[in-house]
């Protein structure tokens, strides 16, 4: 495991899992939100985002945390291992609520209040295109977690092995 992709709905625990996996494996961690967003809540251009992502993908080792479906196929092609946190929508919304007003290493700002549009995005988050994409890559190691407990157990087992 040298090139790892962690995907899932916002609030599913991708960044928390990514930090744990990075700490356990020693692999460098890159958060797509930090590659795409600026501190003032504006985004870099599509060209700049693709350049920054290409720089990471060109490295020998990495963990990339984030969805961004528009570049998911490219990231999966480069990855050897994919973790998909496919948690129930209510757990994801709960996750977003828990992190309000908290400084996070994976975001360039502190979220002060719930964004109704963001909650709708989570409620409408469609996993079907992700599963369809993953089905094309049977040569990859793919792990699907349906609870935080499953993700935590993986980290614990990996650490103990």
Residue 107 has a CB neighbour count (10 Å cut-off) of 17
* Nearest alpha carbon to residue 53 among 81, 25, 78, 16: 78
Report yes or no: 86 and 8 within 8 Å, Cβ to Cβ. yes
What domains can you pick out in the chain, each with its CATH number? 3-160 (3.40.50.300)
pTM of the model: 0.92
108-155 pLDDT, tens per residue? 767 888 889 999 999 999 999 999 999 999 999 999 999 999 999 999
Residue 82 has a CB neighbour count (10 Å cut-off) of 22
The percentage of residues in the chain with a pLDDT greater than 70, rounded to a whole number, is: 99
Q: What is the largest CA-CA distance in the chain?
A: 43
């Amino acid at each position: 495991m040298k090139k790892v992709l962690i995907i899932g709905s916002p609030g599913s625990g991708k960044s928390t899992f990514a930090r744990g996996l990075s700490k356990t494996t020693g692999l460098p961690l890159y958060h797509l939100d930090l590659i795409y967003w600026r501190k003032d809540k504006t985004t870099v251009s599509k060209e700049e985002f693709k350049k920054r992502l290409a720089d990471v993908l060109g490295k020998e080792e990495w963990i990339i945390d984030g969805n961004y479906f528009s570049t998911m196929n490219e990231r999966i092609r480069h990855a050897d291992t994919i973790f998909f946190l496919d948690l129930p929508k209510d757990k994801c919304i709960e996750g977003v609520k828990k992190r309000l007003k908290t400084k996070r290493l994976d975001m360039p700002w502190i979220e002060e209040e719930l964004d109704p549009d963001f909650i709708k995005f989570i409620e409408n988050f469609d996993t079907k295109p992700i599963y369809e994409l993953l089905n094309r890559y049977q040569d990859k190691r793919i792990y699907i977690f349906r609870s935080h407990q499953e993700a935590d157990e993986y980290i614990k087992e990996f650490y103990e092995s």
